[in-house]
Amino acid sequence: MPELFNLTGWAANSSAFEEWIIYVFIFIAVVLLIRYLISWFVSTLRQRGIISASTKSMLIRILDLIVIIVVILGVVESLTASLTPYIVVIALGIMLFILFYYEIREFTAFITIQLQKYARGTWIEVYLPGQIRPIRGRIIDIEPFNSVLEDLYGSRVYLANSVLVNALIREYTPCVTMRISIDQPQSITLDDMLSVIKDAIRGTPFRMDETRTPINSIGGNRLTFTLRLIPLSTPVRSTDLYKLMRRISNVLSNYNPYIEIVEK
């Protein structure tokens, strides 16, 4: 009889162990399936150019870490039949969130910027709260914690991703604004004068924006107008800008020109 009871107990234990193995197998299979689907979705976003390769790699690493934690928790919980592992993980999660709040906030903003399709090389204007003048620049890099902008002259600005996400952003065409003041011409029209200036610009690393040439003022025998010059490449070198100003000054020498660069 004792042997019969031992066999019965062994059979019961064996059955329970098999059920546990099946449970663990199904649990891991479901977790891996979810991981595969999320990974496929992230890869699709990468193929469509919505996120960068570095963002995809980082998201996959975070996903793998979460999968490992979830599998360990599931196995431990099935062995101990206790909620203690979950309580410990939740407590650790809250503590890590408090300790790394800044990093988590910036990384979340990093993902948001990626989804907004601000590609590298795009020229943008960033209007920060409380600031009148925007920050203008070309997106050089979007990193997990900050984004790098390079202005027209090669100076770089580092903006926290959370600041960039909360700012008003719009794309724009980079240009150099040049204000020219001359003696009011009597024998030549403004259009003819602009044609002369356009000929002087030809052959330089700039192109005149002919869609907008506003007249600022006329009076006191002086005419003041503004030119928008679009650089063919950036950053703009001060030597190229100086040579262009000299060219324009020479072709307008009969009108006592005064030329200045206007920073807007």
Residue 178's closest CA among 247, 75, 132, 120?
Answer: 247
- Looking at residue 150, its pLDDT comes to 92
Residues listed for the chain: 264
What is the spatial distance between Cα 197 and Cα 193, in angstroms, rounded to a whole number? 6
- Residue 5 is predicted with a pLDDT of 41
Structure token pair of residue 54:
């570095």
State which residues of the chain have pLDDT below 50: 1-7, 10-11
- In the prediction, which pLDDT does 49 show? 64
Could you read off the pLDDT of 41-79 as tens digits, one per residue?
777 777 766 666 667 777 777 777 777 777 777 777 666
CA–CA dist 204, 263 (Å, integer): 21
Q: For helices 84-99 and 101-115, what crossing angle results, to 10°?
A: 80
Residue 10 confidence (pLDDT): 46
pTM, two decimals, is 0.62
Residue 147: what are its φ and ψ, rounded to 5°? -115, 150
Query: Which pLDDT belongs to residue 81?
Result: 65
